[in-house]
């Protein structure tokens, strides 16, 4: 793994990806944040050694380097999921490369279904904790050069960044919740019984990503901040027919709220 990380990192540095301070991973329908990146360099995933390819509509499949909020950043416009058939090493590699490029923080976004009855479509939820029902990406032989065998997940999401983000959201008069994100494998959307179960065990929102990337980042001691955009509801009496296209549509409608919080949070670091 480390050999692949070094090879990919060396390639990106040769293309101008020098000393980024922050990494961003953008979810379904949420790639518009990259429009504000200045002095940008874009590389399609297919050109990057060892990188997987995004196969999901709404995930463009580009790595973008530049300046946002006065900081050098690298943004993944499109992520990788277990349901695409990728294994733990493939899901882990891009996050590890971001670390080896030099990032000090990792920001993530996703589109999610709300199971908290207080939620509405179009709300944003700042993730305070998660329940991971996906395979743990650290299963297998550990490389002590990258991280410890048994990383602590007591603070998967950075409390300081969460507090700052809530203050920023209040300044923008945005309807924002804090909550627990639960990750499943997908690609099926959940049954009503599953939604009910997820709420019982402590989830506020459910999706198909994010937790593997956060686990990998915390394995390397990268502080994480993440936002879910609520694109549909898994609440009894409010469940409607869901498609990937409807999720994309709702995410795109709400994207400006997420962008405002993330951009101001980046400026404040």
The 3-state secondary structure of 95-139 reads HHHHHHHCCCEEEEEEEEEECCCCCCCCCEEEEEEEEECCCCCCC
3-state secondary structure of 263: helix
Q: 218, 234, 228, 233: which is closest to 251 by C-alpha?
A: 228
CA atoms within 13 A on the CB side of 244: 10
- Tell me the residue ranges of DSSP E strands in the chain: 22-26, 38-44, 62-68, 71-77, 105-114, 124-132, 176-183, 205-207, 224-233
Domains and CATH numbers, the chain: 2-268 (3.40.50.1580)
Q: What is the pLDDT along the chain (269 residues), one digit of tens a residue?
A: 889 999 999 999 999 999 999 999 987 666 677 788 888 999 999 999 998 876 655 446 889 999 998 899 999 988 888 888 888 788 889 999 999 999 999 999 998 999 999 998 889 999 999 999 999 999 999 999 999 999 999 999 999 999 999 999 999 998 899 999 999 998 998 999 999 999 999 999 999 999 999 999 999 999 999 999 998 888 876 776 667 676 676 667 677 888 888 899 999 98
In this prediction, residue 247 carries a pLDDT of 67
In this prediction, residue 52 carries a pLDDT of 83
Place of tokens 């939604």: 195
Q: What is the pTM of this model?
A: 0.92
Say how far apart CA 100 and CA 120 lie, in whole Å: 39
């Amino acid at each position: 793994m480390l050999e692949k990380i070094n090879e990919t990192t060396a390639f990106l540095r040769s293309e101008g990806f020098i000393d980024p301070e922050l990494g961003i991973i953008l979810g379904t329908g949420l790639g518009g944040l990259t429009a504000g990146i200045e002095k940008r360099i874009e590389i399609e995933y297919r050109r990057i050694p060892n990188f997987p390819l995004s196969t999901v509509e709404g995930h463009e499949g580009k790595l973008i380097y530049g300046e946002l909020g006065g900081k050098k950043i690298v943004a993944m416009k499109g992520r990788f999921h277990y349901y695409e058939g990728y294994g733990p090493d493939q899901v882990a590699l891009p996050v590890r490369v971001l670390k080896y490029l030099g990032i000090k923080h990792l920001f993530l976004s996703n589109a999610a279904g709300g199971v908290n009855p207080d939620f509405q479509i179009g709300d944003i939820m700042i993730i305070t904790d998660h329940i991971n029902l996906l395979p743990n990406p650290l299963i297998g032989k550990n490389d002590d050069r990258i991280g410890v065998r048994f990383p602590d997940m007591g603070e998967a999401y950075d409390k300081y960044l969460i507090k700052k983000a809530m203050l920023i959201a209040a300044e923008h008069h945005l309807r924002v919740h804090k909550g627990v994100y639960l990750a499943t494998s997908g690609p099926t959307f959940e049954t009503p019984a599953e939604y009910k179960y997820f709420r019982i065990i402590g989830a506020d929102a459910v999706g198909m990503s994010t937790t593997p990337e956060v686990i990998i980042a915390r394995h390397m001691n990268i502080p994480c901040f993440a936002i879910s955009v609520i694109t549909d509801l898994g609440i009894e009496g409010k469940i409607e027919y869901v498609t990937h296209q409807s999720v994309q549509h709702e995410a795109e409608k709400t994207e400006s709220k997420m962008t405002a919080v993330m951009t101001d949070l980046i400026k404040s670091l």
